[in-house]
């Protein structure tokens, strides 16, 4: 909601300067022009900023007339609001003024980026796949379990419970994977590759061949000796042709 300059007195006029990266979220009519909020409409800086389309999860810092403020701050008079963007590499385990640090890097992948979620699972990251969750349930899970939300749905990210997120820009899953790793400054550990179930997000456990022998196809039984199972779905995993194929696709894309 942009307000016209003419009807707002100088002391009630809050000029807003968004970082260049945030233009992605601005309506075309608002790009490249000074934006203004009328402080007679009482609102927190989170709500003021999001009324222009920029989700709070994209914000690294907010300055009100040169003083750092948090999301709940309500400007009582005009001046200038400067909104700085989260920039890569974004270390979510370091403390920031606007959000407490995460102890671990954990994700929740929205339905529109499930393939990205599965790629991250294959790399060994902790990723909850939001296959059948509503927006409200995703936000609640992200808040409670302190997970980073990955989504292509900007509107989801206006929800207060979500602290950390990436509004994925790329459309191709392998490019999305690079985008995510680069944005959060993550370097995949090849030792963690293929250690999690891509259906359940549980860490796989080694299992003796003798214990699952009867469940194997003859060729698998003949050529492979090391097996893992998922404690959730009981699926059996081994480093067969699928493993090699996925690994070489990651290599080709420069993931590791």
Q: Considering the complex, what minimum distance in angstroms separates the CB of residue 197 from Zn ion?
A: 3
Q: Considering the complex, what minimum distance in angstroms separates the CB of residue 238 from Zn ion?
A: 15
Distance of CA 21 to the CA centre of its chain: 16
Residues within window 217-246 making contact with Zn ion, judged by CB under 5 A? 230, 232-233
Cβ proximity to Zn ion: between 140 and 246 the closer is 246
Q: How far apart are CA 95 and CA 113, in angstroms?
A: 27
Quick one: which of 109, 191, 187, 199 has its CA closest to 148?
109
The single-letter DSSP state of residue 81 is: E
Looking up tokens 């179930």, which residue turns up?
197
Residues within window 191-220 making contact with Zn ion, judged by CB under 5 A? 197, 199-200
Q: Considering the complex, what minimum distance in angstroms separates the CB of residue 132 from Zn ion?
A: 16
Cβ proximity to Zn ion: between 89 and 232 the closer is 232
Q: How long is the chain?
A: 256
Cβ proximity to Zn ion: between 68 and 232 the closer is 232
Confirm or reject binding of residue 26 to Zn ion (CB under 5 A). no
Give DSSP secondary structure letters for 107-127: EEE-GGGHHHHHHHHHTT-EE
Evaluate whether 221 touches 212 at the Cβ level (below 8 Å): no
Q: Considering the complex, what minimum distance in angstroms separates the CB of residue 44 from Zn ion?
A: 42
Cβ proximity to Zn ion: between 39 and 122 the closer is 122
Q: Which residues bind Zn ion (CB under 5 A)?
A: 197, 199-200, 230, 232-233
């Amino acid at each position: 909601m942009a307000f016209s300059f003419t009807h707002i007195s100088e002391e009630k006029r809050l000029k807003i300067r968004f970082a260049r990266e945030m233009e992605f979220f601005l309506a075309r009519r608002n790009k490249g022009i000074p934006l203004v909020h009328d402080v007679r409409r009482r609102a927190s800086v989170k709500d003021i900023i999001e009324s222009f389309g920029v989700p709070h999860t994209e914000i690294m810092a907010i300055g009100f007339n040169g003083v750092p403020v948090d999301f709940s701050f309500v400007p009582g008079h005009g001046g200038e609001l400067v909104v700085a963007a989260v920039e890569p590499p974004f270390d979510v385990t370091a403390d920031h003024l606007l959000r407490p640090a995460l102890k671990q890097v954990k994700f929740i992948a929205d339905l529109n980026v499930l393939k990205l979620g599965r790629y991250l699972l294959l790399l060994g990251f902790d990723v909850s796949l939001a296959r059948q969750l509503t927006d409200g349930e995703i936000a609640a899970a992200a808040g409670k379990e302190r997970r980073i939300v990955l989504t292509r749905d900007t509107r989801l990210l206006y929800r207060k419970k979500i602290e950390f997120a990436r509004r994925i820009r790329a459309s191709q899953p392998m490019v999305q994977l690079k985008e995510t790793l680069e944005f959060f400054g993550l370097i995949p550990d090849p030792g963690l590759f293929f250690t999690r179930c891509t259906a359940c997000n549980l860490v796989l456990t080694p299992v003796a061949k003798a214990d699952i022998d009867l469940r194997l196809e003859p060729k698998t039984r003949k050529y492979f000796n090391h097996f893992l199972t998922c404690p959730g779905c009981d699926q059996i995993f081994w480093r067969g042709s699928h493993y090699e194929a996925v690994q070489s696709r990651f290599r080709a894309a420069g993931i590791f």
